[in-house]
Each structure stands twice: as C-alpha cells, then as structure tokens.
A and B are shown apart, each in its own frame.
Chain A
Amino acid sequence: MSAMVEAGLTEAVAEVAAAAEKYAEETDEQAVFPVQALDAMRATGLLGLMVPAEFGGGDGDLSDLVRVTDALARQDMSVGMIFAMHCQQVLAIVRHATGPLRERLLSELGPGRRYLASVTTERGKGGHLLSSESTTDQAGNRLSIDRDAPIVTGGLHADAFLITVLTPDAISPAQVSLVYADRTDLQATVLGGWQPLGMRATQSVPMRLVGSVAADQVIGTPGGFHDIVADTFGPLAHIGWAAAWLGAAGGALSRTLHHVRSEAGRKQYDASSELLLSRIARIRARLDTVNALIQQVIRRWTEEPDHTAVSFQLLVNTLKFQAAEQCFAAVDEWVELAGLRFGYQRRSPLLLERVFRDLRSASLNYGNDRLYLVNGALALRDRQVSFG
C-alpha cells in the first residue's frame, strides 16, 4: 500500500472509529445497527478496502483487514465484526467470481459505498455451513430464491447479499451455490427481533428473502460453495472474527492500563502488587498468543496457494477457538481485577461490562464445540503431526 493510500486509510479508520465510539452505548442499549459507523464506512470508502486498485478499491491485504478491524473493535466489537464480515464477502467475490460478473461487482464495490451481508444460516440445519435445504428454480435466465435465514447480520442495511442456496438440479443438500443478489431484486422481510446478551449492535435479525436474480450471478462454480469455504470463507471468517475479538479485548486492556496508571488508579491499585503484575502478564500473554496465531494464519494463507492442506485447516480452526477462549478469558480476568465498581457496572468508563458481554458470543459464533470435533477428525489424518 502506497504512503498516500496509507495516510488516507489511517484517516478513514479514525473517522469510522470515532463514529463507532460516539454511538456505541446507544446502539448497544437499543440493540440496533450502528448506522452512523456504516455511513462513515461508506463516506470514507473504507468498505472498498479489499477491492483491487484496478477497480478503484483500497487494494488492501489481510494485514490491512486485521489492522482496521482491530482498530474499530477497540471502540465497538459489533462494528469490527460488521466490517470484517463485509470484507469476507468482498474477498469471496475477488477470488471466486469470474468474467463479466466479477468485473461488474468489483467496479460497484471498489468505491466502498456498498455494504454486503452474508446469508448462510438456515433453519433446520443446525448451523451447518456446507449444506442447505433452500431449493432454487431456474426459469430461462432467472434463478428464483425463497430463502429463510434465522440470523442475518446487517440484513436491514445491506445493499446486496451473498446467499447460500441449493443448485436448481441438486440431488443432495450438499450441492450448495453462493449467489449474489442485489437488494432491489429481493423482497426482504424481517421475521423477528434481536435481543441478545452481547454484540447487540450487529442487529442480526431473522429474515426471509424472496425474489430472483440473473442465473449467472453464481459466485464460483454452481454447487461449488465448499471450495469457496475452504479457500476464502472459512479462513477469512476466522481471521476477521479473531481480529474483532482481539481488538475488543485489546481495547479493554488498554483502557484498564490507562486507569491503573492514572492518579486515581494509583490510589486504587498497588503497581508493585505481585497479584496485579502476574494477572496483567497473563492477560497480555493471552492477547499476544491470539495475535501470533492471526499473523501465522495470514502468512500461510498468503504464501501457500493450497488452502485445503490438513495442517492449514487445523491452524485456521485453532485460531477460531483459541481467539474466542483467550479473548473472553482475558476480559473475564480484568473484570475480576477491576472489581464491582469498575469492572461490573454498566457505563463504567472502562467498558469492561459491555466487552465481557460482547466476547461471550465468541465461542458460540460457529460453535467451538463443533470445531473441536472437526479438528479432532483432521488431527487423526496427520499422524506425523506436521505443522506445515
């Protein structure tokens, strides 16, 4: 990234982070989408970060994605998640769309005005990403969609959706395609509310999407969603989420360290206390571990063309459950350290209570328990225990 683009990016991130910070309490309280932060992402073009320069995008790499997500999540984890998941959709298009469709979509996405939401959840399949029960019909060159999705982050505000559906001629629930649908091609109905414990501002509502799209709006090969998941969707989900969780936990740690070293904090904490020092060390180590894992996954994803290698898949999944567990544990420890007054109360300036609620979602966001099973099966395939 050139120095000029870099300066523009720093400014854009600062503007979006400021909007996130200003409205975080309100959007958390009301469990509504951070529209002001989204407006700022559009106005600054930050939504175009991952689009190649030839299409007018920011030409960012995964390190840029992590850096920006981290910075936004320090103010509001929901905003970081929203941004990272949008970038995951964009990269799926960059890497898997072909021909005129790719040209058209990337030209639209490059300026960073359009926000993409993901529709992969489905009732009845228990969160299994790789199967679908949503049939499609092809009549002429139109593909009709009638999709019920229990969780659509940002569904009320997205300009377009990437939706998983069965191929029209599917003989089994595993023949899943990823389809691009413009909001104007769909009738989007919100089927219920969103009142969770944390990450409330993602406003991930249940929706029904009905309409039709041009039959050539399939990203990648028809029925080939599995390949997109292995190459891009899976790694990017885990990198993006981990960056948001690390940013949220890092923000909490930073605010608390500022407090400990402030005049008021020095009266409250004895900085030579062995208990305090060893707890701070443990919290910091958790976050350094997650950061190291993120960097290692980025390095291998960037340097190795084959993202289906067993050792890489193991690492990508390990990043997810380690980031989820370590970031939550770090904030949990801070709550313990900060006590009832600074750690446990709503609107404490350290914001530990909100970050604690937000990070409780991390292990549930594609369940850790399920990923452990997958990694157990993968580890059995690698008797040599090679780290790639």
Chain B
Amino acid sequence: MDNNFSTMLRPYLKYAGTIDIGADSVLRDLGLDSMRAIELLFAIEDTYGVVMPDEYLNDVAFATAGSLWAAIESLGPAGRQS
C-alpha cells in the first residue's frame, strides 16, 4: 500500500479520527458510506490518474484499505489516463 494512500483516505472516513489506517482497516467501519464512496472515487481517479471501471465500484473492492489499493494497482498502466 502506498504510504500516502492512508493519508488520502482519511478525510473520507468520518469515524477514523486518529485510528491507524492499515491494509486490513474495514472502510465501512471507519465511516465510508455510499455518498462518501463517490467522493473518494473521484479523489482516487485524480490522485492516481486511473479510471475505475464500473465493475470495481462495489462492496468487494471498497471493503478494506488493502482491497481498494489492490483494485487501483490492478489497473496498472493500462488503466491510466493518457
């Protein structure tokens, strides 16, 4: 997981407070709801220059910080915007 990734996530997790965000952190438990998930999606696309396919926008990819990072990584260069 990119070191900056947890810093990027934190503003979208209303219950995260000062809790450490690791790969196993359950995003829903930390306050990610469907409204904030969309804001987070836009932030990911802007920060990492990727386009998340619709089929990634589900509870599986957005389950934990680690699963979300894996989804971003799996897009690789092919998923990057020109």
Contacts and interface: CB of A to CB of B under 8 A. Distances in A.
Interface string B38-49: 100100000000
Interface in A195-247: 223, 226, 230
A226 B38 contact: no
Interface of B: 15-16, 19, 28-31, 33-35, 37-38, 41, 54, 57-59
Interface stretch (A38-46, A51-59, A349-357, A374-382): A374-382
A175 interface: yes
A373 B39 CA distance: 13
Contacts of B16: 172
A310 interface: yes
Given A171-B19, A171-B29, A172-B29, A377 B37 contact: yes
Contacts of B38: 377, 380-381
A380 B42 CA distance: 11
Contacts of B19: 171-172
Interface of A: 130, 171-175, 223, 226, 230, 308-310, 373-374, 377-378, 380-384
A122 to B, nearest CB: 16
Contacts of A173: 15, 31
B15 A374 contact: no
Contacts of A382: 54, 57
B71 to A, nearest CB: 13
A377 B29 contact: no
A383 B28 CA distance: 23
A113 B57 CA distance: 44
Which of A174, A223, A377 has the largest number of chain B CB atoms within 10 A?
A174
Interchain residue pairs A-B with the least CB separation, the first 6:
A172-B15, A381-B57, A377-B38, A377-B34, A174-B29, A377-B35
B59 A308 contact: yes
B55 to A, nearest CB: 9
Given A174-B15, A377-B38, A384 B31 contact: no
A243 B30 CA distance: 35
A172 B16 CA distance: 8
A386 to B, nearest CB: 8
A315 to B, nearest CB: 15
Contact of A374 (B30, B35, B54): B35
A383 B34 contact: no
A377 to B, nearest CB: 5
A44 to B, nearest CB: 40
Contacts of B33: 130
A175 B27 CA distance: 11
27 contacts: A130-B33, A171-B15, A171-B19, A171-B29, A172-B16, A172-B19, A172-B29, A172-B30, A173-B31, A174-B28, A174-B29, A174-B31, A175-B29, A223-B29, A226-B28, A308-B58, A309-B58, A310-B58, A374-B35, A377-B37, A377-B38, A380-B38, A381-B41, A381-B54, A381-B57, A382-B57, A383-B54
Contacts of B15: 171-174
Contacts of A171: 15, 19, 29
Given A172-B15, A383-B54, A378 B30 contact: no
Nearest to A385: B54
Nearest to A230: B59
B63 to A, nearest CB: 11
Given A381-B54, A381-B57, A384-B54, A174 B35 contact: no
Contacts of A373: 35
A380 B35 CA distance: 10
Contacts of A381: 38, 41, 54, 57
A310 B37 CA distance: 13
A92 to B, nearest CB: 19
A234 B28 CA distance: 17
Nearest to B13: A172
Nearest to A171: B19
Given A172-B15, A172-B30, A308-B59, 12 more contacts: A171-B15, A171-B19, A172-B19, A172-B29, A230-B59, A309-B58, A310-B54, A310-B58, A377-B34, A377-B35, A382-B54, A382-B57
